[in-house]
Structure 1
Amino acid sequence: MSTHRDARPGPPFPAVLIVIGVALISINLRPGATSIGPLLEELSASLSLTPTLAGVLTALPGFAFALAGGVAVALARRVGLSKGITLGVAALVITLLLRVLTDSALVFIVLTSVGLAGMGLGNVLVPAWIKAHSRDGGVRLMTIYGMGLTIGGSMGPLLAAPVAEVAPGQWRGALGLWGLVALLALVPWLVISAKDRVHRRAGSELSGRMLHSPTALALTVLFGMQSMNAYVQFGWLPQIYRDAGLSATSAGAYTSIVTGLGVLGGLMMPTVIDRGRGLHVWMIAFGVLAAGGYLGLLVAPAVLPWLWAMLLGVSGFAFPTAIALITARSRDPRVTAQLSGFVQPVGYLLAGMGPLAVGALHAATGGWTVVLSLLALSGLGITLAGLRVAKPVFVDDEMAARIT
C-alpha cells in the first residue's frame, strides 16, 4: 500500500507531453558524459590532450554534477522549475554540438563542463518537477525517469565506437550525435516552459534545514555510496577483468551486464517503494550483493565473471531506489527540490572522487586487493543508510519538527 498519494490538480498541459518530456530528458542526462570513455584515445590524439587533461576530462562528470546541483535550487527559485530545466537542456544542446567543432583541448573541456552542468540542473530539478506535476506522487513518471537515466547512460558507451566508425568526422560525429538527440528533448521542454504559467518554484521557508532531517542525511549517504560504486564500475571494472586475463571484448560484455540490469531496477524499484513492502530486505540485499560481487572479483575474477557482474548489477538497483526515494520521502514539491539539491551534489562529488581514489590506490599498491576490499566494505554503508530511508518517514515532517 502506498504511503502517500498526491491529490493536487493536474498540470496545464497534456499527459502525453509530460511523458515525452520526462522520457527524453532522462535519456539525455548521461550520454554526453558516458560516450567519451570509449573514444578517449582518439579524442586525445586529435586534440593533443595530455594524460593530465585526459584524467580531468574523465573526472569532470561527478564534479560538474555536484557543482551544478548545488546551484540548481537557487536558479529554480528565480525562474521556476520548468524554465530551470529548459535552460539546462538548452545548455546541453549548444555545448554538445559546439564541442565537436573545436580543435582546442581547453575549449573542448570548457564546453564539456557547461554541458555537464546542464545535465546537473536536470538531475536535481526533474524529480521536483515530477513531484509538482503528478497526481500519484510521481510513481509512474519516476519509473520512466529512472529507466531513461540507465538506458541513456548505457547507450553512450555502447554506441560510441560503432558510430565513430561510420559517422562523418569519426569521434566528432559520434559525440555530436548526442547533441542532436538532446535537441529532440529541448522541443517539448520549450513548450512545457511556455505553458507552465503557474511558475512553480523550488525552495521554501524550510531552506537550509536539510541537515536537521535524519532521512535526508541517510538518503545522501545511500545516493553517494551507490553513485561512487557506479562510477568506479564504469571506469575500472573493464580493467579489473582485463587484468584477470579476460579479453577486452569479454570485459566490455560483463560490464554491460552491470549497466543492463540497471534498466530492470529502474522499472521495478519505484513500484516496490510505492507499495511499501519489503524495502528493508532490499536494502540489506543491496549491501550484501555489492560486497559479494567485489569479493568475487578479488578471489576468483575469471572463474565466474558473469556472476560477479550480476551481483554488482542487482546491487546497483540502489541507484534507482535512491532517485525514487527523493520524491517518495517528501510531500511538498519545494521540499522535493531542496532534498534533491541536497542529496545529489554530495552524491556526485563522491562519484567524482571515487574513480580518482581507485586509480591512485591501484597505482600505489600495484594491484586490486586493497581497492576491492575497500569497495566490498562500501556495501555496509549502503545497507545501513538504506535501512534508515526504508522507514516511511517524510523529510517535511522531520524539518517541521525541528522548527516547532
Structure 2
Amino acid sequence: MSTRPDPRRTPPFGMALIVVGVALISINLRPGATSIGPLLEEVRSGLGLGPTLAGVVTALPGFAFAAAGGASVALARRMGLSRGITLGVAAMVFALLARVLTDSALVFLVLTTIALAGMGLGNVLVPAWIKAHSRDGGVRLMTIYGMGLTIGGSLGPLLAAPLAQVAPGQWRGALGVWGVVALAALVPWVIISAKDRVHRRTSTSAPLTGRMRHSPTAVALTALFGIQSMNAYIQFGWVPQIYRDAGLSGTAAGAFVAIITGLGVLGGLLMPTVIARSRDMSPWMIAFGVFAAAGYLGLLLAPATVPWLWAMMLGFSGFAFPTAIALITARSRDPRITAQLSGFVQPVGYLLAGIGPLAVGALHAATGGWTIVLLLLMTTGLGITLAGLRVSKHVFVDDELELAKGA
C-alpha cells in the first residue's frame, strides 16, 4: 500500500496552527494527573480522604483513560477527530477548574474523572489526527507530541509542591492552575474543529474491523504500552511517597519524579526518529527493561542514598512510553487503522495503568512497607523487554489484519 499522502487529507488550515494545536494539547494531557502525587497527603487531609480513596485517586488516571479511550473511536466516527479532541479539551478545562472549588471528596473524584476522561480522548485521537494530517507519516508531529506529553508530565510533579506554597488556597491553587493552562489548548482546537469540515466526514468513516486482536504486533504493542503506562502511573502516584517515607521532603520527592518524567522529553525527541531510521529496535527494548529493574532495585536498597540515580534509571526506562506512542503511527499506514490501533492499544494499556497503582496501594497497606511492591515492580522490566522485542521489527498492522482476514 502506498504511504504517499492522500490529497483529500490536505488540511484546510496552516501548518503553524497544526503545530501549535498539537504542542499545546500534548503539554496539557498529563499535569492534571501527575500533579496530585506530590500533594497526595495535603489532598487527603483537605478532603478527608482515607487510605482506600487515596488509592483510588492514584488509580483514576489509568481507569479513566481506559474508559474514555474505549469510547473515543466510536465518538470520532460520529463527530470527527477534531471535534472529538476539542470536546476532550473542553471537559478537561471545566473539570480541572471546578474540582478545586469543592470540599466534597466525592465531587472531587467525579470532577477528576471527567478531567481525566477528556485527557483520555486526546490520548487516543491525537495520534490518529496526526497521521491524517501529516505528509511524513507523522514523524515530526509525533516528535512534538511525545515531547509535549513528557514536558507536561514532568511539570506537574515538579511544580506541585512549590506552587502549593505560594498559590491561593495552597494545594487547591496548585492543582487549579492546570485548568487555566489548559485554556490555551482549547483556543486552537476550537479553530481547528470549526475549519476541519472535510476531515470530519472522511477520516473515520470506515467501519471498525474489530480484528486488532488478530494482529500480533497490535497485541504486543498493547502489552508494551500497558506495562510502561502502569509503571509510569505508579511512579506518578507512589514513588513520591516512597521517597518521602525514606526521609526526603515533598519538594525533593516531586523533583525526583520530575527527573523521571523529564527524561521522557529526551525520549520524545529521540525515539520517533530512531524508529523511523531503525529496522530493528531490539537493543533499545532490552535496555528499557534493564533500566526499569535496576531503578526499582535502587529504590528498594538505598532510596535516599543516591535518589537521583534511581530516578534517572527509571527515566531512561520510561523512553518505552514515547516509543510505544510513536509506534502506533509507525506500525500503521492508513489513518483509519491508526485510529483503530490507538483505540485498541491505549484503553487496554491504561486499564493496566489503573490496576497498578491500586494494587500498589493495597500491597503497601497490607505489608506496611515497600519491599514486596518494589520486588514485583522489578519484574516489569522483563515484561517491557519481551513485549518490546515483538514490536521491534518493521511490520505494519495493516498487513497483519489483511492476512488475518484471508485466513
TM score, norm. by length of structure 2: 0.93
* 1:283-322 equivalence runs, <5 A: 283-322=285-324
- Counterparts of 2:365 and 2:103 in 1: how far apart (Å)? 31
| Structure 1 residue 239 displacement after superposition | 3.2
1:31 aligns with 31
> How far, CA to CA, are the matches of 1:141 and 1:187 in structure 2?
19
Map of 1:228 onto structure 2: 230
Q: Which ranges in structure 1 are unaligned for 5 or more consecutive residues?
A: none
Letter in 2 for 1:336: T
Residue 205 of structure 1, CA deviation: 3.9
For residues 337-356 of structure 1, what are the structure 2 equivalents within 5 Å? Answer: 337-356=339-358
Closer/same/farther in 2, CA of residues 257 and 85 from structure 1, 3 Å limit: same
Bigger drift between 261-270 and 368-377 goes to 368-377
2:191 alignment partner, SS class: helix
The 3 A distance-change label for structure 1 pair 84 and 253 is: closer
Are residues 86 and 277 of structure 1, via their aligned partners in 2, closer, same or farther at CA, if it must alter by over 3 Å?
A: same
Asked if the contact 1:73–1:203 (Cα under 8 Å) also holds between the matched residues in 2, the reply is no
Matches within 5 A, 1:121-160: 121-160=121-160
Secondary structure of the corresponding residue to residue 267 of structure 1: helix
2:296 and 2:310 in contact (8 A); partners too = yes
Deviation at 1:278, TM superposition (A): 5.0
The structure-2 alpha-carbon separation of the partners of 1:340 and 1:203, relative to structure 1 and needing over 3 Å to count, comes to: farther
Partner residue, 2:100: 100
Partner of residue 329 from structure 1, selected from 328, 331, 340 = 331
Contact 1:27 1:153 in 2 (8 A): yes
Q: Name whichever of 237-246 and 287-296 sits farther off.
A: 237-246
Aligned to 1:66: 66
Residues 1:38 and 1:391: Cα distance change in structure 2 (over 3 Å): same
2: CA distance between counterparts of 1:94 and 1:246?
A: 34
Residue 353 of structure 1 aligns to a residue whose secondary structure is: helix
Residue identity in the other structure for 1:8: D
Residue 25 of structure 2 contacts residue 185 of structure 2 at CA under 8 Å; is this kept in 1? yes
Aligned residues: 402
1:307 & 1:5 partners in 2: Cα distance?
A: 42
Cα deviation, residue 243, structure 1: 4.1
Please show how residues 57-206 of structure 1 align to structure 2 within 5 Å.
57-198=57-198, 199=200, 200-202=202-204, 204-206=206-208
Higher alpha-carbon deviation: 330-339 or 94-103? 94-103
Alpha-carbon offset, residue 291 of structure 1: 1.5
Q: What is the alpha-carbon distance in structure 1 between the residues aligned to residue 35 and residue 370 of structure 2?
A: 26
Distance (Å, rounded) in 2 between the aligned partners of 1:315 and 1:256? 14
Shift of 1:380: 1.1
One-letter amino acid matched to 1:173: G
47-56 or 326-335, larger mean C-alpha shift: 47-56
The match for 2:264 is 262
RMSD: 2.0
Amino acid at match of 1:118: G
Q: Distance in 2 between matches of 1:212 and 1:203?
A: 22
Kept in 1: contact 2:125–2:342 (CA 8 A): yes
- Identical columns (%): 78
Q: State the match for 1:16 in structure 2.
A: 16
Q: Which amino acid aligns with 1:257?
A: I
Q: 1:373 aligns with which of 372, 375, 378?
A: 375
Greater alpha carbon shift after TM alignment, 33-42 vs 257-266: 33-42
Do 2:233 and 2:357's aligned partners in 1 also have CA atoms closer than 8 Å? yes
Shift of 1:246: 4.7
Q: Decide which moves more: 164-173 or 124-133.
A: 164-173
